Amino acid sequence: MSAPGHVVRLRERLADRAQCGLVSMPGCWDALSLLLIEKAGCEAGFLSGAALSMAALGRADLGLVPADRVVDTVALMRDASDLPLLVDGDTGFGNALTLQRFVRMLERAGASAVQVEDQTFPKRCGHMAGKQVVPHDEALGRIRAALDARVDMLVFARTDALGVEGFASAMERAESFLAEGADAVFIEGPRTMQELEDIAARLAGRVPLVHNLVAGGVTPTDDEECLERLGIAVALHPMLLLGGLVTGAPRWLAGLAAARSSTGLREETGMLHDLNELTGAQSLLAQGAKYGC
């Protein structure tokens, strides 16, 4: 049985990174936000654990979203779009057995790739203080378990050891993930350009590298051209859309309260036809008409 098209496209795109450059992956948390990313012409989306936790639960990224909620979200997103989708798998939601169950469910739901990390459970956002990582052997076991459980879906191996145990430990873990067969490696939180350049110099020619661009985080650059010159393959923007909503919504609500009308807000908030166009109202009506509904 052949791999799903969205998996094939992502795998081939990462293989062509030297010619085609960096893949920009904005963060999303539901089908509508994935459609926005697709409409913008992006090559892939990233189901961010932080964005999902904040949008669905109204709570910070502290490991509160259960595995089944992530899987259900992916299924709804895949029903709306065939865009390649990287999914934040956090720490695997337990031990290696629960991680394997999660990976199998995630792949059936329509994920193109899963990101697995080495933080302790419950995890926290990689750009927050106080995070911890599991021992190296356990971290490697998670990646091995994910690779053994997947059929076609890509496995991105992430380590948060840089901010906990230092650069040497992070590089050692990255090397072991690469040797195990991870499809991409993600060293979270380089604090300086020198660290980022050293990571890229050692790994970028051997495996697709992922970099996380968190506004207000510890990353030393948010410039995709700079990352591309270093050979970084994937740039994640996990909070771009959600941050825009959280920043813009108070202004729109205050404008509504002050004017007692939404007329002055429509340039920013749009009209009903904008939403209908994005969500395919006309094509759905035409499809229904074929069946007399």
Query: With bands split at pLDDT 50, 70 and 90, how would you rate the model's confidence at 173?
Result: very high
194: pLDDT strictly greater than 80: yes
2: pLDDT strictly greater than 90: no
Q: Supply the mean pLDDT for the chain.
A: 94
Quote the tokens at residue 120. Answer: 């302790």
Q: What integer pLDDT is reported at residue 219 of this predicted model?
A: 86
Q: Which long-range contacts (CB under 8 A, 24 or more apart) does 130-136 make?
A: 131/160, 131/163, 131/164, 132/164, 133/159, 133/160, 133/161, 133/164, 133/165, 134/91, 136/169, 136/172, 136/173, 136/176
Express each pLDDT in 180-191 by its tens digit.
Answer: 999 999 999 899
In percent, the amount of the chain with pLDDT more than 70 equals 97
109: pLDDT strictly greater than 80: yes
128: pLDDT strictly greater than 80: no
75: pLDDT strictly greater than 80: yes
Quote the tokens at residue 81. Answer: 């779009």
Mean pLDDT, rounded, for 81-109:
96
Q: What integer pLDDT is reported at residue 126 of this predicted model?
A: 56
Q: Which residue(s) pair with 227 in the sheet? A: none
Query: With bands split at pLDDT 50, 70 and 90, how would you rate the model's confidence at 292?
Result: confident
Q: Which residue has the higher pLDDT, 219 or 209?
A: 209
Query: With bands split at pLDDT 50, 70 and 90, how would you rate the model's confidence at 120?
Result: confident
> If you count them, how many residues does the chain have?
293
CA distance linking residue 171 with residue 162, whole number of Å:
8
Domains and CATH numbers, the chain: 5-245 (3.20.20.60), 261-293 (no CATH)
